[in-house]
Structure 1
Amino acid sequence: MTKPGPREGSAMIKQAAKEYAPLDLEKRVREFWRRTKAYEKTRKLRESGKDYYFVDGPPYTTAAIHLGNALNKTIKDVVVRWRRMQGLNLRDQPGFDMHGLPIEVQVEKSLGITNKREIEDLGIEKFVSTCREFSLDLLGKMTEVFRELGVWMDWDNPYMTIKNSFIEAGWWTLKKAHEKGLLTKNVRSLQWCTRCETALAEAEVEYTDETDPSIYVKFPIKDRTGESLLIWTTTPWTLPANLAVAVHPEFPYVKVELAGDAAVWVLEENAARIMDEADATGRIVDRMAGADMVGWAYEHPLAAKVPYHASVQAPKAHTVLASTAVTNEYTGLVHTAPGHGPEDFELMSGASTLQRRAPTRVATSARRTSRSSTISRTRAPCSTAARSCTATVTAGGVTRRSSSASRNNGSSASAP
């Protein structure tokens, strides 16, 4: 009895090769797909299926793809193939993000540009066209690598954020949102790149530990003769823009009587350590919860040097506000400058303190403006302003001690 042979037309199972050459195998598979038009035929076979829209989050065209891009596209390819195997008619258009700071910074490096003024000197149109050429070149290179990875997408028809059709679609969406009353106009505190002189997304900010001047400053309390709120800050250059002092409503605070009939309010649990660091002696004469301090008005310690504070009309400006974000560190009283940070801004907005915009006395290049005060010279760097503010409050007798401290400082991740 003879063994039955394979049915006519069926494929024979071949003996596995003793050696595995992945690069050679991948090349042969890609060539097979190209020769048989496997991708195109697969899409054609699914045209009558239920529509399924796959939206590709685009990578930046800033450099060769990295492992994150490869993993991202591989996972997407698996999902797309799985859906096609279910008979769905997929829209699988890939995309590329081709404008924005990451690309501009790469072009700046290639042109030897170090700041915004040099871009203007070069010419905006020339700079933009160079960015476009840079992006298109990287798009071609990235597409080729994605193809070699075996990713099945409509690579001949990608969406590109630099195309007018894409930009106009964004404006159309914004217009429709406006027509439906979904937009509101307001002001916010944003991350800012002082080199690029433009706003930053949170994802574009990198944080590092830096050592900056720190200082204890007294804020004299109105209607409470001889009493002051004692704050501690690592950003003395923001003191001219102070509009409030925040306390935790549930924390206990104490009044420490000092020599000469003066007294300061600080967080109870840190009172002894603060007095030691400030080279002062005193005794606790009163206790109060933070909630009971809310509403106290104070005199700005730099009012004589910063004209703005003499005329500020914002409700609840120069008062104590409650915030559960206050931690039990140092004095437990937080100097709040809404023009210098989103957290401060949100606190002041919630207190209905801001009418139009938060005061900031720093230009887009991180230098003090001529409207800042009489504390530091026009366009002085903030580091210089920090020393000037410290010297001014010290000379005015409203500081207990200045020193240095480490803090987590943000900077542009796009900066060269």
Structure 2
Amino acid sequence: MKYKEYKGINYADIAREVLQRWQDGKVFERSVEGREGAPSFTFYEGPPSANGTPGIHHVMARAVKDIFCRYKTLKGYQVKRKGGWDTHGLPVELQVEKELGITKEDIGKKISVEEYNKRCKEAVMKYKDQWDDLTEKMGYWVDLQNPYITFDRNYMETLWWLLKQLYDKGLLYEGFTIQPYSPKAGTGLSSHELNQPGAYREVKDTTVVAQFKLADKDDEFFLAWTTTPWTLAANTALAVNPAIDYIKVATYNPYTYQPVKVIFAKDRLNYLLNTKAEGIPLSDYKPGDKLIPYEILEEYKGKELVGIRYEQLLPYVPPTGDAFRVIEGDFVTTDEGTGIVHIAPTFGADDFRAAKKAGIGAILVKDEEGKDSPIVDKQGRYVKEMGEFAGMYVKNEYYPAGEAPEKSLDVLLAIKLKEANRAFKVEKYEHSYPHCWRTDKPVLYYPLDSWFIKTTAFKDR
């Protein structure tokens, strides 16, 4: 076989020449048909969505896919490659809703379901020609003449049939978990989605070291730090590490100037108090002094604090079960905060697990259907039971453009706690926080009902 010699190489011309030869000779088709009866290696492409234009990352991913298929062909397999189009899901819906200036709540009101579906089907294949052109030019071999399309009825009915088989085998079940949730997109997010580049961003949030008053003690408090003050109304427990050293300190609240005794991890003394005030008599303190004196009264191991009860911090909604006591948490550290972690079972995976293990209830209300729901609705707003804060979004980013209040919910809650002698320290804190890749808005950790396939039943296979 002779190979053409190229002089003064023009790679674009060479590419066009090779592609033309492949097309004229139906090389891809013959590589499949010519191995009829050979062992099969079947490839279904993880389908792209044609409502967005292809990028260089698609070229890179497809080059890797193509290598495996060509390798298997060279090893003698019949390699059928089936292309596909992902035509379902939120990216398409969000694009159409943005174009029409509507939200999910408007479907069936401002626009019929039929018209909405029609617009989605039109939008989802918007850039198909560009995808086909890229596929051909990069030499990616895949059957685009007979693709699987996820809005096709045959495809959908096949999936329903498969789900029915799993259900009949007892492998389909409904579960309740705390998941990353995007209020603006109206959907939960997978760990894969949160691990995408750019999902975690540096943000500055209002943080609060809250004072949780011990039951039957007038001036004694546990100190717990949070970067999400809006979750404090859902608090039902405080977690300590049994092995950590804790101290009780007599001092003064820096906002109300009232005398207090506060309990926190010994290693966090430098964060919570100014050590330059060490040795100043408590009696010398005058309201407004920059140096606030303190005196260490007692020292404990965390295990000695377990079981102590305290009062509800923000008593808008009563708990569903046992609540407001100190529990064990091996995840508690002294790297940040106070060494005591505030537990809101409805808004954190660790919180949910720790509370469940300790038999701690949650703060729940009834929704319109009479189901138990958290104090934040799926749009990211406090529910009506939350008094003067009802209807406020827990993140200012959730408000429509130009409608966010000057003082966020976190700031207003911090002010309320300061005035009530329930905040020991309030400050801005820069940290990394996950955002939804579809909407660029912060996510919440939220309780969601979800359906799961019991893959663990076959883990040994």
TM class, shorter-length: 0.7 to 0.9
SS at match of 1:218: strand
Distance 1:291 1:161 in 2: 55
Deviations 1:179-227 (A, max 9, x none): 2222333322222222233333344452322222222211122366643
Distance 2:89 2:130 in 1: 19
Distance 2:161 2:220 in 1: 58
Q: Which runs of 5+ in 2 are unaligned?
A: 253-257, 276-289, 365-371, 397-407, 441-461
Distance 2:130 2:23 in 1: 19
What is the aligned partner in structure 2 of residue 330 from structure 1?
337
Distance 2:8 2:225 in 1: 69
1:96, 1:139 within 8 Å by CA — same for their partners in 2?
no
Picking from 286, 291, 298, the partner of 1:286 is 298
SS at match of 1:263: strand
What is the aligned partner in structure 2 of residue 213 from structure 1?
206
SS at match of 2:410: helix
Distance 2:70 2:429 in 1: 55
- 1:394 equivalent in alignment to 2:418: yes
Distance 1:78 1:173 in 2: 30
Distance 2:224 2:56 in 1: 47
- 1:404 equivalent in alignment to 2:402: no
Picking from 187, 194, 213, the partner of 2:183 is 194
SS at match of 2:82: coil
SS at match of 2:145: coil
Deviations 1:314-335 (A, max 9, x none): 24x2222222322311211111
Shift of 1:152: 1.3
Picking from 159, 184, 189, the partner of 1:170 is 159
Query: More deviation in 399-408 or 325-334?
Result: 399-408
Change (3 A) 1:362 1:279: farther
Matches within 5 A, 1:61-72: 61-72=50-61
2:87, 2:121 within 8 Å by CA — same for their partners in 1?
yes
What is the aligned partner in structure 2 of residue 41 from structure 1?
30
Distance 2:48 2:167 in 1: 29
Distance 2:236 2:373 in 1: 9
Deviations 1:236-283 (A, max 9, x none): 222111122122232211111236774211110112430239974322
Q: What's the % identity of the aligned pairs?
A: 25
Change (3 A) 1:13 1:408: closer
| Structure with greater Cα Rg | 1
Letter in 1 for 2:438: S
Distance 2:243 2:157 in 1: 51
TM-score under structure 1 normalisation? 0.86
Distance 1:404 1:88 in 2: 61
SS at match of 1:156: strand
1:338, 1:359 within 8 Å by CA — same for their partners in 2?
no
1:208, 1:410 within 8 Å by CA — same for their partners in 2?
yes
Letter in 1 for 2:307: G
Matches within 5 A, 1:107-126: 107-109=96-98, 111=99, 113=101, 115-118=103-106, 121-126=110-115
Q: Which runs of 5+ in 1 are unaligned?
A: 1-10
1:49, 1:89 within 8 Å by CA — same for their partners in 2?
yes
- 1:320 equivalent in alignment to 2:326: yes
- 1:368 equivalent in alignment to 2:356: no
Letter in 2 for 1:361: I
1:61, 1:103 within 8 Å by CA — same for their partners in 2?
no
Picking from 130, 147, 151, the partner of 2:119 is 130
Shift of 1:356: 11
What is the aligned partner in structure 2 of residue 414 from structure 1?
438
Matches within 5 A, 1:183-262: 183-205=172-194, 206-222=199-215, 226-258=219-251, 262=260
What is the aligned partner in structure 2 of residue 101 from structure 1?
90
SS at match of 2:248: strand
What is the aligned partner in structure 1 of residue 134 from structure 2?
145
TM-score under structure 2 normalisation? 0.78
SS at match of 2:23: helix
Deviations 1:124-160 (A, max 9, x none): 3323222211222333431231122111111212222
Change (3 A) 1:359 1:267: farther
Shift of 1:391: 2.7
Distance 2:3 2:26 in 1: 24
- What is the RMSD computed on CA atoms of the aligned residues? 2.7
2:178, 2:352 within 8 Å by CA — same for their partners in 1?
yes
2:382, 2:393 within 8 Å by CA — same for their partners in 1?
yes
What is the aligned partner in structure 1 of residue 451 from structure 2?
none
Bigger strand share: 2
1:217, 1:232 within 8 Å by CA — same for their partners in 2?
yes
Instruction: State how many pairs are aligned.
Output: 396
Distance 1:288 1:87 in 2: 71
Bigger helix share: 1
1:53, 1:91 within 8 Å by CA — same for their partners in 2?
yes
Distance 1:279 1:55 in 2: 68
